[in-house]
């Protein structure tokens, strides 16, 4: 039926890793039974958490930390024997962020993976949470670069989906002209993202959600669990299964529209977000020859959130 074989992606792009090469070939298998039946299963081929789950004692020996699934991808039409197929050419999968010196986690921390029946349930509010969480005072208006009136309005109305998108848009604008133009953070601009604005965004999220959402909440969960993959499981971005851990929340960068878009099958429930689940969607540019990384905790540590 087909007069040509699928060219291995590594022949087209030698920089693609063996893991990504095999994942693409698996996803494009001719027979349906040979292909992953769920998007989460296919994503697991790209970043199998069961093989990469590490505590910080192990990670501190390396320059990066395993992190998020913000998949950068390119959709391209290909005609094979008269049949048009969508090929997902993965150009990068995030595997880590730089471990900054302000990282409060201890090297010898290790916590077992929670059982699957409660892996996506909210963290129980600790009895000492009131003493841990200090009321954040809004910064002086002259210290802020961004206009957060729309974000504040969405948050007050509990419009979490709109607030998640507005957070991304306003942060791009605050970061700088390059970030805003390309629809994802320019790395040089991100390294100088103003801390007053970052803290103000977190304050608005925290106050609107009674301390359940925000960057500082995500950081408190990470500080408690001391493991990035456990963080994703706990906040519902990753789900455990008998076959391994599958991503439940993911997005990709659309080169044409210059926007980060949730993968339809892998987006969270904005009607009832879990503790620490938002804000979620943020996207950074990828250096030449590098892999996409989720860098939110760089700002968390730098700004001492």
- Would you place residue 14 in the very low, low, confident or very high pLDDT band (cuts 50, 70, 90)? low
Q: What is the pLDDT of residue 271?
A: 94
pTM for the model: 0.62
Integer Cα distance of 196 and 141 in angstroms: 10
Is pLDDT above 60 for 174?
yes
- 135's tokens: 């009321």
Is pLDDT above 90 for 172?
yes
pLDDT digit string, tens, across residues 259-276? 999 998 888 889 999 999
Produce one character per residue of 57-93: b if its CB has 16 or more CB atoms within 10 Å, e if not: eebbeeeebbbbbbbbbeeeeeebeeeeeebbebbbb
- 295's tokens: 């860098």
């Amino acid at each position: 039926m087909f007069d040509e074989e699928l060219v291995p992606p590594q022949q087209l792009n030698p920089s693609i890793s063996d893991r990504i090469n095999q994942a693409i070939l698996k996803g494009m298998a001719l027979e349906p039974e040979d292909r992953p039946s769920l998007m989460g299963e296919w994503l697991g081929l790209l970043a199998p958490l069961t093989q990469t789950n590490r505590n910080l004692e192990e990670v501190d020996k390396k320059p990066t930390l395993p992190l998020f699934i913000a998949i950068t991808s390119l959709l391209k039409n290909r005609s094979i024997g008269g049949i048009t197929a969508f090929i997902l050419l993965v150009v990068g999968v995030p595997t880590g962020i730089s471990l900054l010196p302000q990282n409060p986690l201890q090297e010898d921390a290790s916590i077992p993976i929670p059982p699957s029946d409660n892996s996506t349930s909210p963290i129980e509010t600790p009895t000492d949470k009131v003493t841990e969480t200090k009321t954040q005072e809004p910064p002086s208006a002259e210290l802020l670069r961004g206009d957060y009136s729309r974000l504040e309005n969405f948050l007050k109305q509990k419009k979490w989906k709109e607030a998640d998108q507005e957070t991304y848009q306003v942060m791009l604008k605050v970061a700088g002209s390059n970030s805003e133009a390309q629809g994802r953070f320019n790395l040089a601009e991100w390294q100088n993202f103003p801390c007053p604005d970052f803290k103000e965004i977190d304050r608005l999220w925290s106050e609107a959600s009674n301390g359940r959402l925000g960057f500082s909440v995500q950081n408190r969960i990470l500080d408690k669990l001391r493991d990035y993959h456990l963080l994703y499981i706990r906040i519902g971005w990753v789900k455990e299964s008998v076959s391994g851990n599958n991503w439940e929340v993911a997005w990709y960068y659309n080169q044409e529209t210059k926007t980060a878009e949730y993968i339809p099958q892998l987006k969270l429930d904005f009607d009832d977000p879990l503790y620490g689940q938002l804000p979620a969607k943020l996207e950074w540019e990828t250096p030449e020859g590098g892999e996409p990384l989720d860098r939110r905790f760089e700002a968390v540590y730098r700004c001492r959130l």
